[in-house]
Every structure is written in C-alpha cells, then in structure tokens.
Amino acid sequence: MSNIVVAGAAGRMGRQLLLAIQEREDLSLCGAFEHPQSTALGVDTGVLTGTGSSSVEIVADIADINASYSTIIDFTTPANTLNLLKYASEKNISLVIGTTGLSDKDKQVLNQAASRTAIVYASNYSVGVTLTLELLAQAAKVLGEKYDIEIIESHHKHKVDAPSGTALSMGESIAEAIGVDLKTNAVMSREGITGARKDNTIGFSTVRAGDIIGEHTALFCGQGERLEITHKATDRMTFARGAVRAAAWVAQQPPGLYNMKDVLAMS
C-alpha cells in the first residue's frame, strides 16, 4: 500500500485525483494541501468530492501533514512545483508532476531533484496521448521532410499557458523524429504578411474557449493528401487515473526522471 499526498487538492485536477485514488485498493490518501488563501482549507477531502468523510482535511502547507507517505502528486503551478522538488528531494519522497509551463531553468531544477528521488514528469498522463506521441514520431519519420506540419490544440477558457504542454510534447516528438530543434523551428504565431512557409517548421495554433477539456491534432499536409492524428479528452478522470497509476509505479523506482512511456513499459 502506497500512501499519497495531493497538491492543489481543491482544484479541477486535484479533485479528480482524490477520486482516482479512492478507486484503487493499492493506494491510500493520507494528505492534501492547498495555497494558504484557499477557501477549502480545513475541508474534509471526502466532503469536497461528495463521497463522504475521509478523515483527511486540506491543510495550507505540506509541512502540516503529519502522516507518513511515499509520493506527492502535483498538478499546480511552476512556483509551487519548484518548492516541492526541493522538499521531496530532501525527504526522499517520490513525485508525480503534471504541472505545465515549466521553463528551461525549472526543468534543470527538475533534473537535479531526480538525481536524489524518483520523479515522473509528463505534460499529459493520458494513456491515449502517450500512444499518440509514438504515432506522431512514426508518421514524422515517414512524412516529415515532404509534408508541412501543424499542431492545433484547444482547451477551456481558464487555462493559463499556451501552447499546452501536450502540444509542445507533440512538437518535440515530431521535431526529434525529423532531426530539427523545436525551439528554432517552431512557429507560434502568424500575423500580417508572413511570407511563404519555411521548410521543416512546425506551426502551433491555440484555442481557448468554454469548457473544452483538451483536444490536440497534428496535421501532416502534403500535395494531394493530408494525414490528421487527433486525441480528444472528454473527462479529466482520464488524466487523473493515469497520474495515479504513475504514483503507484514510481514509489517502487530508484531515483531518476521518468515519463509515462516508462510507466506503461513502452520505453
């Protein structure tokens, strides 16, 4: 039995994570925390999710959790994630991180922490998205040099970063497959007279509207045909179940930086 702590427990993903943990007999929720100004402080997590009393109340700081635990699941903000990386690496606690918007500097801290504790980091914990990244790499190896590539992603109006972490992961899979650097070959916006499209570029388009949970499409456009590879999420529990699966797995791993391909034994 692995004991789990959930960061950002009252958020959209946090509540789904609480429910996903309850579905598993090999995991136990032993702590949950939120930012100090949250109106959910002191609320029982079972009451929060509508599943009845759980005896686990939401606290304002991870240091306030007295129970013993092996893993923290974190879908919060880059600033909070950096704090957790320091805390977890010092305490030898494993981490499952789904926070998006990490900078290159943040990822350096992530790599340093992974030398001391086991961390799963993924932009998307859906099994379907993990498979999609593999399909994109295969398609890019066959089509990439002769086909124009565009990535279109759509999310709800409250998402604060763009392009999404998943869209960037898609771009990275494609870029690696065709042998280019995404940082220099990505086209994040177009406006005005942009000129003709340059070869080997990867375009990104972003939609933020309503309550869209997550839709991602990669277009491979050639002369006379177009291949589209699409993933659509209709329920956040898809991501939560994947993250919880990762939490059960990472608790048994040595220090290192892992991804969902490792969790699913696809590497």
Mean pLDDT of the chain: 94
Q: In this structure, are 61 and 165 located in the same domain?
A: no
**The pLDDT value given to residue 146:** 87
Beta bridge partners of 231: 216
* Joined tokens for residue 250: 């990472």
Closest by Cα among 238, 243, 171, 242 to 206: 171
Query: Cβ contacts of residue 103 below 8 Å, gap of 6+?
Result: 78
For the whole model, what pTM was predicted? 0.84
**The pLDDT value given to residue 16:** 96
For residue 182, the enclosing domain spans 127-233
Q: In this structure, are 9 and 113 located in the same domain?
A: yes
How far apart CA 131 and CA 135 sit, in angstroms, is 6
How far apart CA 267 and CA 259 sit, in angstroms, is 9
Q: In this structure, are 114 and 13 located in the same domain?
A: yes
DSSP 94: E
Mutual orientation of helices 104-114 and 78-91 as an angle, nearest 10°? 20
**The pLDDT value given to residue 41:** 95
Q: Are 254 and 118 in contact (CB under 8 A)?
A: yes
How far apart CA 201 and CA 165 sit, in angstroms, is 18
**The pLDDT value given to residue 136:** 97
Q: In this structure, are 10 and 116 located in the same domain?
A: yes
- What is the CB neighbour count within 10 angstroms for residue 236? 18
Quick check: helix, strand or coil at residue 148? Answer: strand
**The pLDDT value given to residue 144:** 76
CATH number for the domain that contains residue 205: 3.30.360.10
How many structural domains does the chain have?
2
Q: In this structure, are 142 and 209 located in the same domain?
A: yes
Beta bridge partners of 145: none
Q: In this structure, are 137 and 101 located in the same domain?
A: no
Q: In this structure, are 146 and 115 located in the same domain?
A: no
Per-residue pLDDT averaged across 216-242, rounded?
Answer: 96
How far apart CA 221 and CA 204 sit, in angstroms, is 14
Q: In this structure, are 107 and 135 located in the same domain?
A: no
Closest by Cα among 91, 117, 103, 68 to 256: 117
Q: In this structure, are 10 and 109 located in the same domain?
A: yes
pLDDT at 266 over 90: no
Closest by Cα among 114, 74, 77 to 97: 74
Q: In this structure, are 7 and 79 located in the same domain?
A: yes
Confidence band, pLDDT 50/70/90 cuts, at residue 7: very high
pLDDT at 45 over 80: yes
Q: Are 58 and 33 in contact (CB under 8 A)?
A: yes
| Amino acid residing at 204 | F
Q: In this structure, are 157 and 114 located in the same domain?
A: no
Q: Which residue has the tokens 């946090």?
A: 14
Q: Half-sphere exposure (CA, 13 Å, Cβ side) for 75? A: 25
CATH number for the domain that contains residue 243: 3.40.50.720
Q: Active-site residue numbers?
A: 155, 159
Q: In this structure, are 116 and 14 located in the same domain?
A: yes
Phi/psi for 222 (5° steps) reads: -115, -170
Q: How far apart are the first and last CA of the chain?
A: 26
Q: What are 89-144's pLDDT values in tens digits?
A: 999 999 999 998 899 999 999 999 999 999 999 989 999 999 999 999 999 999 97
**The pLDDT value given to residue 1:** 73
Q: What are 52-100's pLDDT values in tens digits?
A: 878 899 999 999 998 899 999 999 999 999 999 999 999 999 999 999 8
